[in-house]
Amino acid sequence: MKIYDISVSLCAELPFFPGDPRVVIEPVTTLSDGDSANASRISMSTHSGTHLDPPRHFDDCGLTVDALPLSLLVGRALVFHISGTRAIGPAELARLPLAGEERLLLRTDNSRLWGERAFVEDFTHITPQGARFLVEKGVKLVGIDYLSVEKADGNGDVHRILLENGVVILEGLDLSAVEAGIYELICLPLKIRGGDGAPARALLRSMELPGTDLHTTRWPLA
């Protein structure tokens, strides 16, 4: 069994979504200054780096991050590669074997953007039509490999379509080393009381599933 860390490291160099505060990590005490231990202060958005969007993100009465059921954040997940497009809609998502799959992680051309220190506005995103498609298919968690599931100048429709229908959003993933396939997702956000979001440590564990080949159009193989 192989374990993949699909989280990005929180640091001052991490890109941040326009309007959000950047990550700031400041030493409070240091051994080099004669203090008894090293300790630091962290300042950042609840939507920094790899993070989870619960319904509260777009609804004052929505479920908060600390109230999300762990059963949603841990379990079987489908990782799929979509390349060559900036807008993921029903046509792209219809290729996926989503029947019975509750967790979907999308590896896109965004994977190479983590090498850029500045925020890149022209990233791959899900369209409102794509969001409705995922809701109709019964997906309960969708993840993507950049800082938003929605385009940079979006009006929030993609978030609202997903969150209002109980689909939790996992953003800021690093899927660059992950092949398409079925995995076990373990996603543990910070338990922020009343949180509209929270940074998370997200992992994938490989699952051996004979007869499934995500590089073909046969689902599963006969």
Q: Is 71 left (phi over 0), alpha (psi -120 to 50) or beta?
A: alpha
User: Phi, psi at residue 211, to the nearest 5°?
Assistant: 95, 0
User: Phi, psi at residue 15, to the nearest 5°?
Assistant: -60, 150
- Confirm whether 57 is a catalytic residue: yes
Catalytic residue (choose from 57, 125, 159, 215): 57
Residue among 53, 27, 55, 58 at smallest CA distance from 41: 27
Q: Find out whether 140 and 72 touch, Cβ atoms under 8 Å.
A: yes
Is 73 strand, coil or helix? helix
Question: What residues are annotated to the active site?
Answer: 57
